[in-house]
Amino acid sequence: MRFLTLPLVFLYILRWAVAKPRILPSLLHEKRNHVPPGWSHSGRHHAMAVLPLRFALSQRNIHTIEHYINDVAHPASPNYGNHWTATQVAEKFTPSHDTIETVKTWLSDNGFGWDRIRVTNLQGWIELNATVQEAEKLLWAEYHVYKHASGKEHISCESYHIPPHVAPHIDFVTPTVHFDVIVSRSPEASHRKIGASGTPINTNMQGRSFNGPKTTGSNSETFNQLDDCDQLITPLCLRALYGLGYKPRATSNNSFAIAEFTPGAYVPSDLDNFGKAYAPDIVGKRPKLVSIDGGTVQAALTGFDYNGESNLDLQYGMALVTGAQNVTLYQLGDSIQHASDNNLLNAFDSSYCGFDGGDDPNIDGIYPDQAPGGYKGKEDCGTVKPANVISISYYYNEADLTPAYTARQCVEFAKLGLMGITVLFASGDNGVAGLINACLNPDGSQSANGRLFNPSFPGTCPYVTSVGATQVNVNSTVYQPESACEQLISSGFLYSGGGFSNHFSIPDYQKDAVQNYLKNYLTPGLPLSYNSTGSRAHPDLSANGAKYAISLQGNFTRVYGTSASTPVVGAILTLINDARLLAGKKPIGFINPAIYSPSFSDAFHDVTNGTNPGCGTLGFNAAKGWDPVTGLGTPNFPKLVEKWLALP
């Protein structure tokens, strides 16, 4: 939302009336309504301090990206599967000459000499060192210093303004309103940028020990894992639930990657323990490590918080694609600064990287890292060829980020879709609430007593596939319908994340499905706590997320959450890609336009029982067809293969 702030407008006109008679008043560009929890105001910033101002330039043709995506990803399109090369993508969207000149001219008209203005090599970003005084005048902003309980300081303004003829050429400016979204998770790490990667779901992925796999021991043991899937999920349970008997054969041409954020790390011996119990063909196998921005599989910090997520993702991801398919591990960031989704996107796309993409030093890892012990190498920039399917079990609350930041990153996911890459994100583990059960207040702040639903990001980006969680009901078998995941674990209840975005409007592909839900199945009496303006709804689909057996530091533990569901869906889609590659076809790429299309309507096990409570409500209810708890349902692998083999 943009509006005029009158006193500033008035001053602006006075100041420039003589020099530039035709100049229009500056418009509000971005605004923050509150200071995030944990931070307090400590005073005005020093007028002569220097700020490294960075202007993110708008990209060309961005408003038509949905059209391009549908052209390659909609099953009715004659160009289905004709994915773009990275070069085609870069050429289509690089900022125009006009954009660069308009912004440079505006800066120079405001007294910044050409020698102070730098356009980055890929022409997408303008940099300028300005004193606080200069920046305040340019942006009609006031810079303040904020302090975090941890002692960390942050420079920020509450809003900033850009003249109307320049505004369409700038996505956002840093440092301005954006805040460090970092939440520390463990006491010994409280002074670090923990969580810069998006807070891992493993804060909720509560472990519970049990007495190890019952399948070990003598061959005469008659215990049947399939009888026990309501108590313990193993790869065998998942194969039975989703119809996975497929043996991949196009493995040398296929790829599947799982992203982890340092200091999160998998434990190799746990992978073997898990393999011995549940997946003998992966014993001795390791993921192919692709280190991004100094990422290492560190072994100094151990325990559930460090190893739980990575162990889960790799044990299940690798088991389900079988030992025949290699799995890639994107290990991101050093142990000091960590990394974010943007660091991964930079590694894929040198043009994003070149203009630092949506990079914001308050959210993303910036390399080389000057801190002692930090990664001193260059930032990975277009160095990694993305895998066909990428699974990411980490997320933010959408409200932790500004709309400008999420918009810019979401476009980058769309570009991956254009290139034929499937990107999966966990939908969240707190139902309609956000991380640590925070809900939104009317001013956009988050608190435990907030009443408005708090969706997650990137799941709400219309160009990723968001994965929710289901469960096998107690005393049910894998042959009976699953319900939405509703589990009491030691940190509280775990419910499948889902709902409606506050940043993104609804994409065409899901309009009918969402309309059907709102018209016929919306929980009667549910307060209007969600964004009901017609915005992007998620999750898109789901998979089991309850009671997974994982090996952790030599012991077996049960874990829960959409963290578990996401790599499972990733593995299933990887097997579908295998079938398509064998048939001489392209990978499935961005799947949403296909899975919501009528021809796929019987390709999911519809989940119609359960809810996703939060924010003092019962949340949404699962229902026939798509719903904001379990999406379209869980994968029916044989049907999905059949549908996707029928497409060009």
Ligand X SMILES: *[C@@H]1O[C@H](CO)[C@@H](O)[C@H](O)[C@H]1NC(C)=O
Q: What is the b/e burial string over 203-214, where b = at least 16 CB atoms within 10 angstroms of the residue's CB?
A: bbbbbeeeeebb
540 neighbors 513 (Cβ within 8 angstroms): no
Owner of token pair 């399939």: 226
Residues forming beta bridges with residue 357, ordered by sequence position: none
Q: Does 231 bind ligand X (CB under 6 A)?
A: no
Q: How far is CA 509 from CA 326, 398, 530, 573, 596, in A?
A: 32, 21, 20, 19, 6
**Measured from the CB atom, is 16 or 230 closer to ligand X?**
230
Picking from 261, 212, 229, the residue whose alpha carbon sits closest to that of residue 555 is 212
Q: How many CB atoms lie within 10 A of CB 35?
A: 16
Q: How far is the CB of 220 from ligand X (least distance, A)?
A: 26
Eight-state DSSP code of residue 387 = P
DSSP letters for 77-110: STTTT-PPPHHHHHHHHSPPHHHHHHHHHHHHHT
Q: Rule CB under 6 A: which of 561-590 touch ligand X?
A: 581-582
Residue 207 identity: G
Q: What is the b/e burial string over 69-83, where b = at least 16 CB atoms within 10 angstroms of the residue's CB?
A: bbbbbbbebeebbeb
Q: Does 217 bind ligand X (CB under 6 A)?
A: no
Q: How far is the CB of 452 from ligand X (least distance, A)?
A: 8
Q: Does 118 bind ligand X (CB under 6 A)?
A: yes
Question: Max Cα separation, the chain?
Answer: 94
Distance of CA 51 to the CA centre of its chain: 29
The only residue of 42, 61, 224, 252 in contact with ligand X, by rule CB under 6 A: 252
Q: How far is the CB of 431 from ligand X (least distance, A)?
A: 12
Structure tokens at 61: 């043709």
CA dist., res. 173 & res. 160, Å (int): 9
Q: How far is the CB of 129 from ligand X (least distance, A)?
A: 4
Q: Does 610 bind ligand X (CB under 6 A)?
A: yes
* 267 annotated ligand-binding residue: no
Q: Rule CB under 6 A: which of 270-309 touch ligand X?
A: none
**Residue 551 catalytic?**
no
Structure tokens at 62: 């961005």
* 365 annotated ligand-binding residue: no
Q: Does 220 bind ligand X (CB under 6 A)?
A: no
Q: Does 486 bind ligand X (CB under 6 A)?
A: yes
**Measured from the CB atom, is 70 or 254 closer to ligand X?**
254
* 607 annotated ligand-binding residue: yes
Give, to the nearest 10 degrees, the angle between helix 403-418 and helix 65-73. 30
Q: How far is the CB of 444 from ligand X (least distance, A)?
A: 7
Structure tokens at 332: 């991101």
Q: Rule CB under 6 A: which of 322-361 touch ligand X?
A: 326
Q: Does 100 bind ligand X (CB under 6 A)?
A: no
**Residue 309 catalytic?**
yes
The only residue of 18, 554, 598, 646 in contact with ligand X, by rule CB under 6 A: 554
**Residue 158 catalytic?**
no
**Measured from the CB atom, is 92 or 492 closer to ligand X?**
492
The only residue of 5, 77, 123, 609 in contact with ligand X, by rule CB under 6 A: 609
Q: Does 251 bind ligand X (CB under 6 A)?
A: yes
Q: How far is the CB of 474 from ligand X (least distance, A)?
A: 4
Q: Does 483 bind ligand X (CB under 6 A)?
A: yes
DSSP letters for 167-233: GGGEEEEESSS--------SGGGTTTTTTTT-EEGGGT---EE-S--TT-S-TT----GGGGTTT-B
Q: How far is the CB of 150 from ligand X (least distance, A)?
A: 26
Q: Does 79 bind ligand X (CB under 6 A)?
A: no
Q: Does 496 bind ligand X (CB under 6 A)?
A: no
| Binding pattern for the stretch 524-553 against ligand X, x by CB under 6 A and - elsewhere | -------x-x-x-----------------x
Q: Rule CB under 6 A: which of 19-48 touch ligand X?
A: none
**Measured from the CB atom, is 475 or 490 closer to ligand X?**
475
Eight-state DSSP code of residue 295 = -
The dihedral through the CA atoms of 394, 397, 400, 403 has a sign that is: positive
**Measured from the CB atom, is 17 or 50 closer to ligand X?**
50
The only residue of 127, 158, 228, 512 in contact with ligand X, by rule CB under 6 A: 127
Residues catalogued as catalytic? 309, 313, 563
Task: List, as residue ranges, the binding site.
Answer: 606-607, 625, 627
Q: Residues in the site for ligand X, rule: CB under 6 A?
A: 52, 118, 127-129, 209, 250-253, 326, 473-475, 483, 486, 502, 504-505, 531, 533, 535, 553-555, 581-582, 609-610
| Residues in the annotated binding site for Ca(2+) | 606-607, 625, 627
